[in-house]
């Protein structure tokens, strides 16, 4: 196995980007395949991290109380968008990609409060046959942030982007 699959994957990705750039710039004939996109694709697997001389697989890590306190104290130092995304991350415990792709059409005021329904197609489990939409109650700071961002976003993404993607990646 490869000792540093992350480094190897990054190198393959960068060489693929360079190859694509050369094709786009006309420096390579359009019939030349981008081999870097094909070489070792999906074959670079990690053997795990070495800790105290032993290999350990992927493990879950959570922030300690001290680390969480540092994050919360540091929130005012971030831009409003990053502050809002991090706060929603802490209050909802959802993935960052789900938070930044939040759309106003997925937010509903119901008799028991504000709810966010993440469509199955936008969740990590979208490939699983029995997966369903994920409903998230928005309370406290999460509710305040979503209401404020809804006022600005109108009928659109709550974390809009000016780049290629309509929302922050």
- pLDDT tens digits for range 56-70: 766 667 788 998 899
Provide the whole-model pTM.
0.62
| pLDDT tens, residue by residue, 95-151 | 888 999 999 999 999 999 999 999 988 888 888 888 898 999 999 999 999 999 999
- pLDDT more than 90, % of the chain: 32
pLDDT for the residue 148 = 95
Residue 162 domain-assigned (yes or no): no
Run of H or E residues at 137: strand 134-138
Which residue range forms the structural domain that includes residue 112? 65-153
> Binning pLDDT at 50, 70 and 90, where does residue 39 land?
low
Q: What per-residue confidence (pLDDT) applies to 44?
A: 62
The reply to whether 49 and 81 lie within a common domain is no
In a domain, 161, yes or no: no
Tell me, yes or no, whether 160 lies in a domain. Answer: no
For the chain, helix (H) and strand (E) counts, in that order, are: 5, 5
| Residues 116, 149 within the same domain | yes
Host H or E run for residue 114: strand 113-118
Q: 93 and 118: one domain? A: yes
């Amino acid at each position: 196995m490869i000792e540093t699959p992350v480094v190897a994957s990054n190198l393959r990705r960068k060489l693929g980007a360079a190859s694509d750039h050369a094709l786009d710039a006309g420096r390579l004939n359009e019939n030349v395949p981008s081999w870097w996109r094909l070489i070792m694709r999906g074959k670079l697997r990690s053997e795990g991290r070495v800790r105290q001389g032993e290999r350990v697989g992927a493990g879950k890590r959570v922030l300690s109380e001290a680390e969480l306190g540092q994050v919360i104290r540091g929130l005012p130092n971030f831009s409003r968008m990053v502050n809002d995304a991090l706060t929603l991350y802490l209050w909802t415990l959802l993935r960052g990609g789900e938070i930044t792709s939040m759309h106003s059409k997925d937010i509903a005021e119901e008799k028991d409060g504000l709810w966010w329904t993440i469509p199955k197609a936008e969740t990590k489990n979208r490939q699983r046959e029995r997966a369903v939409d994920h409903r998230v109650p928005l309370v406290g700071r999460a509710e305040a942030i979503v209401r404020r961002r809804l006022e600005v976003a109108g009928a659109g993404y709550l974390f809009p982007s000016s780049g290629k993607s309509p929302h922050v990646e």
